[in-house]
Amino acid sequence: MSESRRARPESAATNHADGPPLVPSEGLFEGQVAVVGETRIAGAVIGTLRGPGTLRLDPSASIEGPIDCETLESAGLIVGTVQARARARLIAGNHLEGDVEAPVLEVEDDAVWNGKARIGS
């Protein structure tokens, strides 16, 4: 099998955003999550989410702790600070209790956010 066709195993801390979530909707994870590539969360996380990737939170997702990633797209619940190095997008249904720092911040209609923002580079 050629090198380009060989399957590459993924880290336990990553998954594709269109595939199954790293934490399923009924799941609970306590600890640190490495956000590498595209990481999707549908369940509850108590702890830190950090890394150079894109974090996508489903409407059923619940995060308690700080988030530090490249890009955030959230339709879930976040209680904690958010630092996105490229963009933070709060989708309708999102509820964020915490401050946001991002060069670009997009808040859709019906997204709830209580906190302060630092926007720009």
Per DSSP, the three-state class of 99 is: coil
DSSP one-letter string for 101-113: EESSEEE-TT-EE
Q: What is the pLDDT of residue 8?
A: 29
Q: What is the pTM of this model?
A: 0.84
Q: What is the pLDDT of residue 17?
A: 55
Q: Supply 89's token pair.
A: 């997008």
Low-confidence stretches of the chain (pLDDT < 50) are: 1-16
H or E element, residue 46: strand 44-50
Q: Please state the domain extents for the chain.
A: 12-119
Q: Supply 14's token pair.
A: 């990553």
